[in-house]
Amino acid sequence: MLAVIAFLAFQDYTYDLNGRKVPAPNANPDQVEERVVEEGGGRKVIERVVRRANGQPEKVRIEERKNADGSVTTETSVYRGDLNGNLNLAEKRISEARRTTMSLEETTTVRRGTLNGGMEVVERSERVGQTAGKVTNEEVRTFRKDQNGSFREAARQNIERREENGKVVEQVAEYQAATADGRLQLSGQRVSNELKRADGSVVKQVTVYGMALPGRASRAGELKLREEQVIEQRPAGGQNVVESFSIRRPDLDGRLSGDFLKVSERTCQKACN
């Protein structure tokens, strides 16, 4: 027997020059329906059907298995519609994770469809993490095929997450392969502070650093402030959640001025992802 566990609808909004909230152009609500199609014996299968406003269907099948050694294997298959409306397997992601209260080890393999109808491994990633008290450190390494068909490290993230004065503070440093020999260089950084309020709302402030924009002077490898973001989710009655997104950006001299500008808002059922 199928059990519907979630039914989500999204409506995006933007703001005009007068600050009035209006539906985003060409943005009709997407609908996402999730069903548990099998559960028991350490195995759970979820099917997610996405009905997009542009008419392109998508189905995601998620199978989670608890193994005898305590690890968890998650297999995610993504099916996308073609011009005739037929669903074809486009991507398969297999992750194996071993978690304890103090550590995390996870490996993920990504396969995508090829022109001859087969599936080819295009990406692998490794995640390791350690928790000490209220501080968690994680490293994520992503490997992709080079021109010779060999897997080389293409990206890396170093993540530190800690609880501090009632907030969750997260710092993420991002590295990308940026030299001819594939060496990684720091390409971006994000610092976020998340606070849960007593009324059920959640406010997240994010500061984003990256390489300098064209026309702005900077030294090689130096990161510049790109923007500050405020993401707020608040209950809106029943199962509705309203999420607003506001930003402010520095001028050419790197100075921040003025208030945050709200650029979008959306209403979701259950949760905004």
Distance CA 62, CA 79 (A): 11
Please name the residues in contact with 112: beta carbons below 8 A apart, sequence gap of 6 or more: 90, 91, 92, 119, 120, 122
Give the residue-averaged pLDDT of 251-260. Answer: 81
Domain 1-132, what fold? Lipocalin (2.40.128)
DSSP per residue, 104-151: EEEEEEEEEE-TTS-EEEEEEEEEEEEEETTEEEEEEEEEEE-TTS-E
Considering only the C-alpha atoms of the chain, give the largest distance between any 2 of them, rounded to a whole number of Å: 62
Residue 183's pLDDT is 87
pLDDT digits (tens, 9 = 90+) for 168-198: 999 999 999 877 777 899 999 999 999 999 9
Token pair of 66, please?
């608890």
Instruction: Break the chain into its structural domains and give their ranges.
Output: 1-132
Residue 2's pLDDT is 46
pTM over 0.85: no
- How much of the chain is in helix, strand and coil states, percent to nearest 5? 0, 65, 35
